[in-house]
Amino acid sequence: MNLPPTPPREAPPPLAASAWVLRFAPLIRPGAEVLDLACGSGRHVRALAAAGHRVLGVDRDALALHSLRGLPGVRTLQADLENAPWPLQQRFGAVVVTNYLWRELLPHIVRSVDEGGVLIYETFALGQQTVGRPAREEFLLRPGELLEAVRGELRVVAFEDGFQAMPGPVFVQRICAVRESAPVSMATDPPKYNL
């Protein structure tokens, strides 16, 4: 019996942008280059590009990235973030990560935020296994884990860690943090004043 050919898989339509990302996107310098890590079908890539930012969307799914081709201000990079070396050597005016956790990448993510740049991160936390997926602990943030990841590097602007009932029950951890610009260094001789 001959079965009809399987139609090619299509990328699912993008979800609406995260309210957390939209809330803190105004902190991103106008025209800054933004990294959307594990961008999937590009819900944040699209929103940030529409706001006038240059956006690099990185994901391992070539089909999802294909749906972003040709969008003004958008570049894509297909990369397996979990089984290959960190693929980026530059810093960004903002780094956005949602619904993704690979702990080994946390130091790279934090270091990728440029001076004056913003980290906006939101993903599932412990407790999620009681209400849905993901349920495996390696994909769930421990209490305060994002705070620890940015400690000594970035200044926390906002942080949430806990249960959210609406729009659906979820345990989530979110952070918005900035890399403050380096202070202006003083001359080797202190200034002299005439009193």
In a domain, 190, yes or no: no
Helix (H) or strand (E) holding 118: strand 113-124
- Is 187 within a domain? no
Lowest mean pLDDT among 8-12, 115-119, 129-133, 156-160: 8-12
169 in any annotated domain:
yes
Residue 94 has pLDDT above 70, yes or no: yes
**Does residue 103 carry a pLDDT above 50?**
yes
pTM for the model stands at: 0.85
Asked if residue 104 belongs to a domain, the reply is: yes
Distance CA 113, CA 109 (A): 7
Q: What is the extent of the structural domain holding 75?
A: 19-178
pLDDT band at 4 (very low <50, low <70, confident <90, very high): low
Read out DSSP for 119-181?
EEEEEEBTTGGGTSS--SGGGSBPTTHHHHHHTTTSEEEEEEEEEE-SSS-EEEEEEEEE-PP
Tell whether 147 is covered by a domain: yes
Whether residue 134 has a cis bond before it, omega within 30° of 0: yes
pLDDT digits (tens, 9 = 90+) for 130-172: 888 988 888 898 999 999 999 999 999 999 998 988 778 889 9
pLDDT tens-place string over residues 52-80:
999 999 999 999 999 999 999 999 999 99
Mean pLDDT for 161-185 is 84
Judged by average pLDDT, the poorest of 13-22, 76-85, 118-127 is 13-22
Q: Are 142 and 126 in contact (CB under 8 A)?
A: yes
Looking at the chain, the whole-number percentage of residues with pLDDT higher than 90 is: 70
pLDDT attached to residue 11: 46
Q: Is 70 inside a domain boundary?
A: yes
Element of type H or E holding 19: helix 19-24
Residue 14 binned pLDDT confidence (cut-offs 50, 70, 90): low
CA atoms within 13 A on the CB side of 177: 24
User: Which pLDDT score is estimated for 191?
Assistant: 43
Q: Is residue 46 part of a domain?
A: yes
Q: Name the more confident of 39 and 124.
A: 39
57 or 4, higher pLDDT: 57
Pairing type for strands 170-178 and 74-78 reads unpaired
Q: How many domains does the chain have?
A: 1
Domain of residue 23, CATH code: 3.40.50.150
Number of helices (H) and strands (E), helices first, in the chain?
5, 7
Residue 12, in any domain of the structure: no
pLDDT at position 168 is 80
Q: Please give the Cα distance from 62 to 112 (Å, whole number).
A: 23
